[in-house]
Amino acid sequence: MARTGQPSIPRWLWILCFIAVSIAVVVLEPVVTDESGAAEPPVGIATGGDPTAVLAALSALPVRAADPQDGYSRELFGPAWTDNVTVGFGRNGCDTRNDILKRDLVDISLEPATKDCTVRTGTLRDTYTNLEIFFRRGTDTSSAVQIDHIVALSDAWKKGARHLDDQARRNLANDPRNLQAVDGRTNQSKGDSDASAWLPPNAGYHCDYVARQVEVKVEYRLWVTPEERDAMARVLSAC
């Protein structure tokens, strides 16, 4: 027998609640540490592997045209690889570039004179190309492995980062969730493209790549263009 006298909850309210919970998981996920005490990237929607949650978060992002590029400069995001940030690896005494190299490379050797901050050699198993790349620090060799901003800083500037305060922009430029050690030439080919114009050559990494972009955009209150949203949705729908 059907119950009477109890109002039903509208379907749109259930959907709104689900989206709100998905976003809260991304934004509130705490920074964790490994056994050595070093900060590690939090486990959020990008590493959790749930395409439904990522799609829900994507659908909640504002959608609008990109702002003009005017006013952008790299310096507005703080000194390159500054340690003066409040995100993972922040204020640990090492610069962000070497923090990411230590996270993403294997079989590394460190420079003892730098208090084991500087990576001297290592091997990158590149997620963008599926290639194995040997890294050796040096004027002519360091560029073989570069640190990509998953959401490019100049692209972020056009989609909301111009409205962030100085600390938030420094965090965005040095947040481990927005950084990945990759093949240098592939990184150069990306430039400041968003997902509508560029995806990694390794198709097997597209789901994780787009999920990480969504996570960063949620965290820093950035928006997506209609073309970018559609491209992201196509990737995530196939995950």
Give the pLDDT confidence score for residue 46 in this predicted structure: 54
Query: What is the enclosing helix (H) or strand (E) of 23?
Result: helix 11-28
Give the pLDDT confidence score for residue 10 in this predicted structure: 52
Give the pLDDT confidence score for residue 146 in this predicted structure: 98
Residue appearing with tokens 């507005």? 76
Q: Write out the chain's pLDDT in tens, 239 residues.
A: 444 444 444 544 444 444 444 444 333 333 333 333 333 444 344 545 699 999 999 999 999 999 999 999 999 999 999 999 999 999 999 999 999 999 999 999 999 999 999 999 999 999 999 999 999 999 999 999 999 999 999 999 999 999 999 999 999 999 999 999 999 999 999 999 999 999 999 999 999 999 999 999 999 999 999 999 999 999 999 99
pTM of the model: 0.81
CA–CA gap between residue 126 and residue 105 (Å, rounded): 9
- Angle among Cα 184, 169, 50 to the nearest 5 degrees reads 70
Do the beta carbons of residue 66 and residue 227 sit within 8 Å? no
- Cβ neighbours, 10 Å, residue 219: 22
Do the beta carbons of residue 177 and residue 31 sit within 8 Å? no
Do the beta carbons of residue 31 and residue 40 sit within 8 Å? yes
